[in-house]
Structure 1
């Protein structure tokens, strides 16, 4: 599709609107990359999936996509033997749980959702690996004692050493002679060491290691010698704990590597499912319907409404109503000339036709009544608005002429051409003559075209 036309018709805003209904970053990414298709069968298949999801949502069968993360890069790292972090393992576990939820969700779908069932049939229940991870790591990222017998034993020893340290500190603080040299009667922590706040002029009265000094220099924070040996023992146990945690993380990373291939495949399928669900949610929210797709060039939009106008109307207070329009093209005539007063909605009519055609070809329902027909256009070209360019030394009129010349070169009988204010920007007589020549060329090409205009000669020419 012509990139400039996508910009003029504001297809990017529709993609952003669609992305806001996706549940995961994967679905949002697919929505923002959505492109119109030109294969009629693929478009029809996508529309069937969206229609089935609309039905499923109406029946309270929303897919459980909570916990789906984009962990594809993490899975590649695990597959080559890298050790994953606790946070990465938790994200993988949530995604694995999501595959199990979708596997069970498929069982709830009925005969009316056969295409949806086929879409997610290849998703395996990988929740067993998720349970293995959650059995070793809690939701806060703490490796549990039950992760291994060795870790449980090390932490038991750490608890015992900690208890001995606390007992020793309590014994020291009960000593009345020692309390006289303390700035305040409590121990504090400096790094991994328990220290006592000793007045600097009483430093010689307590044997131990000075770990830091107060900003005023009046207080020394000293680790008593009787505690230093216990701190050394605790440091050794802490090192053993870290090594054991590393071994556990490597083991869990190996479990992830074992399911990396099926999980990567499932993530791609779940991202597609999220996109389909986003399309269905948007359809329900904006009262959209699936159009009938044809390859005969027949466009019939019944009670069509511009989706971005609908969005603005919903956000307004009080809510406003969008006036629908019927557009018919490609049956008895291929060229449609629209005229009327300024601010009468001519340009909106053009944009509605073009944007709804793009949405339909992107596999989306459109804000139009049931029974609407949309053909598959291989190209959609638009010349709407002011194309003046100082950089290219183009005036408003010459910019329009340059754009229309490009459109006439590229358009064929499978194209939709949208021209706004044909013949404007120059002398009315010359503009009308140029407009007639352009209409003749569009007729010769055989494309479907919608043109808005003001010159009376072009109105007469249309008849």
Structure 2
């Protein structure tokens, strides 16, 4: 990309904003060197990395690179077996600690620990994306970092336990110091010496302990004079009695320095063993710091990932220039390269034309550099080999260039270097000279670039360019709106309609007399006036069409919603109808079977009486006939009672998940899948149909006891019904039960009902999901399963099944 366009479009300011989000000096330098790319695969890779980092920020929170510093020089010294200073070693330890924190962030273990600290079930946060490999390749080398931090407390402070030698030397120093102070204390506290000393204190001069002696008593204290006061009245003398002790302290201090040097050599040697790993960690962390800086910038500017293409198509949706204030910037939609390759923007000054021009150029540079753009999702950008911009006035007195000459020099350069795969941006081409000649030049230049296949966008005040756009294929007009009533621009870009300069309207609002404005209008030819009138009509028509389109879209959405609602109702009616017919057939078959049994028995009794008349008993026959009449009345009563509308008196608290209920309005059974809400509406599963029904329509079916495999178990009424119920149950039965977050008692209660349902549904293996956590819930469930009569065996899940977070139960 040419440097002039980068400067004009203020790409360097964007890089400065991104730099603020980088932590390490290495990442900041990488941001400063960031340039737009031309290879679409490389651009997509950079965009994917930024997008993956942004997703991690949104889901896992911030990642910190605090402590990441430039240890490149230290790594080079380690490569040649050099000894590092304490600061260099501490910097290496800090980098390794950053690597440890970053690795935990990468695999989500830090989030798991945070959840565990709040007594929440851990959730697997492993993410596989373009950054996963970098996180996995980090080697924290915790033993190296721990050893450095154990031995070196700060840049100038070392732990006593750094080595046994250092510990012994420091102990000797303390003992010698104690002896020396005891000797000096005797001297300064002696009554005989009290008047001969300037002060009763011990001081230090030139690294040796001394006492302050008055000048006139110097002969009373044999020893070495190290200093005197500014007046000469006080001498600082090292008594002979402590000279040897001071010498010992000096020697021990030198030994301490030598021992510290050995410690640094040892730590440097340990780090040198892993120098290649440390260098790789530094490289990986710099990459991650750089990538997450781009992601943090995207989050701060509410940016999204653009979709790139090599077809020259641009479709920016609600783009916001990132250098403008968030609360004042007006989003713009910019389209180019699909049905037209040249877009000409017209409108009044300060209306936002140049901002729209810069927004397109800057977004292209940002996107090709791997940065997200502040626009709506699904915005599209094209990959350009170069972007040229002639924006602003760069006239030069030194080079004797006028405004027109400056612009023309830039345009000449653009024309000479433009290709079909370039983006050209022009601000007022042909300006600064005679309007007629300037307009002709502008049309000719833009037409040449369009015919070449380049993508172009230009701002202008020339009516000739508006006419050119209206009459030429592949060229489109656009305008920046202006509110004449308030004399303020709206900054909204409208594609398809050329804009008016509104010079007369603005001048009138500002107080210019009407006779002057009318005189000016008389000097404009009728064609120009007709053109402005046409533009005004077009703009009004465009707004009216946009309002109509919005109303039509609203109607379409409403119709679609009604259509979906009607379709759902029809599906529900068909399902209910099928269920009602099915139940009616079953009841009719039961009645027929019952009637057949009664008829058969009656015929047998009649034949017996006919063959043996002496056994016929009128009283017995009358009783049999009474029973038949009673049976018929029972059928009639049951039919009449079923036609009556039944209601339930259950409260919302009576219902539990898994309860079997009779749906009174449909005459069918179902299972509670969702507890009643505050309006008394509960979720009920009826075969393949899942509906929300009022609890007044639901009758809870009490549990009854049946025998399974010789063992008595409790089952709700939904289990009664033999194979039909089993088939219905198997259609709705889930092979997994999730009890995460529940207590052991709650979980075992649900598991009991769940295993009963599994047996009736002929399911031989089920999965109970309880999570890993502390293992308490898993242990309690296993103790319960061990004693359950329906359980043959159980085990933990294998790899791919959920491992220790689930239990597989064989029934």
Provide TM-score, normalisation by structure 1.
0.95
The yes-or-no answer on 1:440 pairing with 2:455 is no
SS across alignment from 2:192: helix
Structure 1 stretch displaced more, 115-124 or 33-42: 115-124
Q: CA deviation at 1:261?
A: 1.3
Q: Indicate conservation of the 8 Å contact 1:294/1:373, yes or no.
A: yes
Which residue does 1:387 correspond to in 2? 394
Which residue does 2:338 correspond to in 1? 331
Q: Indicate conservation of the 8 Å contact 1:38/1:377, yes or no.
A: yes
- Matched length: 455
- CA deviation profile, 1:16-37 (whole Å, cap 9, x unmatched): 1001011222221211111111
Which residue does 2:252 correspond to in 1? 237
Q: Indicate conservation of the 8 Å contact 2:314/2:382, yes or no.
A: yes
Q: CA deviation at 1:159?
A: 0.8
Which residue does 2:274 correspond to in 1? 259
- CA deviation profile, 1:277-326 (whole Å, cap 9, x unmatched): 111111111111111111111011100010011xxx25xxxxx3311110
Q: CA deviation at 1:94?
A: 0.6
Q: Indicate conservation of the 8 Å contact 1:213/1:219, yes or no.
A: yes
SS across alignment from 1:138: strand
The yes-or-no answer on 1:147 pairing with 2:162 is yes
SS across alignment from 1:307: coil
Distance 1:34 1:90, change over 3 A: same
Distance 1:111 1:99 in 2: 17
Distance 1:78 1:113 in 2: 34
Which residue does 2:88 correspond to in 1? 88
- CA deviation profile, 1:397-454 (whole Å, cap 9, x unmatched): 1111111111111111111111111111111111111111211221122111111111
Distance 1:348 1:198 in 2: 82
Distance 1:78 1:111, change over 3 A: closer
Q: Indicate conservation of the 8 Å contact 1:208/1:222, yes or no.
A: yes
Q: CA deviation at 1:344?
A: 0.5
SS across alignment from 2:74: helix
- CA deviation profile, 1:99-120 (whole Å, cap 9, x unmatched): 2222333321846542221233
Which residue does 1:33 correspond to in 2? 33
Q: CA deviation at 1:213?
A: 1.7
The yes-or-no answer on 1:397 pairing with 2:404 is yes
Distance 2:205 2:256 in 1: 21
Structure 1 stretch displaced more, 110-119 or 452-461: 110-119
**Matched ranges for 1:217-296 at <5 A:** 217-296=232-311
Q: Indicate conservation of the 8 Å contact 1:52/1:113, yes or no.
A: no
Distance 1:410 1:265 in 2: 42
Q: Indicate conservation of the 8 Å contact 2:346/2:461, yes or no.
A: yes
Distance 1:369 1:112 in 2: 25
SS across alignment from 1:337: strand
Which residue does 2:2 correspond to in 1? 2
Aligned match of 1:164 in 162, 169, 179?
A: 179
Distance 1:347 1:113 in 2: 42
Distance 2:83 2:288 in 1: 30
Q: Indicate conservation of the 8 Å contact 1:90/1:141, yes or no.
A: no
Q: Indicate conservation of the 8 Å contact 1:300/1:329, yes or no.
A: yes
Q: Indicate conservation of the 8 Å contact 2:317/2:379, yes or no.
A: yes
**Matched ranges for 1:8-407 at <5 A:** 8-108=8-108, 110=125, 112-139=127-154, 141-309=156-324, 313=325, 320-407=327-414
Distance 1:368 1:127 in 2: 43
Q: CA deviation at 1:389?
A: 2.1
SS across alignment from 2:193: helix
Distance 1:224 1:336 in 2: 95
Q: Indicate conservation of the 8 Å contact 1:64/1:105, yes or no.
A: no
SS across alignment from 1:371: coil
Q: Indicate conservation of the 8 Å contact 1:299/1:373, yes or no.
A: yes
Structure 1 stretch displaced more, 394-403 or 335-344: 394-403
Distance 1:261 1:394 in 2: 57
Which residue does 2:658 correspond to in 1? none
SS across alignment from 1:332: coil
Q: CA deviation at 1:140?
A: 5.2
Distance 1:187 1:278 in 2: 57
Aligned match of 2:463 in 428, 434, 456?
A: 456
The yes-or-no answer on 1:413 pairing with 2:420 is yes
Rg bigger for which structure? Answer: 2
Structure 1 stretch displaced more, 221-230 or 8-17: 221-230
- CA deviation profile, 1:71-95 (whole Å, cap 9, x unmatched): 0111101211221111111011111
SS across alignment from 2:153: coil
Distance 1:8 1:120 in 2: 38
Note the residue ranges of structure 2 that are not aligned, 5 or more in a row: 110-124, 471-811
SS across alignment from 1:177: coil
Aligned match of 2:431 in 420, 424, 427?
A: 424
Structure 1 stretch displaced more, 237-246 or 45-54: 45-54
Q: Indicate conservation of the 8 Å contact 1:40/1:293, yes or no.
A: yes
Distance 2:457 2:3 in 1: 19
- CA deviation profile, 1:359-398 (whole Å, cap 9, x unmatched): 1111111000111001111101111111112333322211
Structure 1 stretch displaced more, 96-105 or 451-460: 96-105
- CA deviation profile, 1:341-372 (whole Å, cap 9, x unmatched): 11001111111111111111111110001110
Distance 2:154 2:235 in 1: 40
Distance 1:399 1:435 in 2: 15
Provide TM-score, normalisation by structure 2.
0.55
Q: Which has the higher strand share?
A: 2
Distance 1:60 1:22 in 2: 18
Distance 2:381 2:73 in 1: 40
Distance 2:57 2:206 in 1: 55
Superposed CA RMSD in Å reads 1.5
Distance 1:220 1:192 in 2: 16
Q: Indicate conservation of the 8 Å contact 2:188/2:197, yes or no.
A: no
Distance 1:426 1:113 in 2: 60
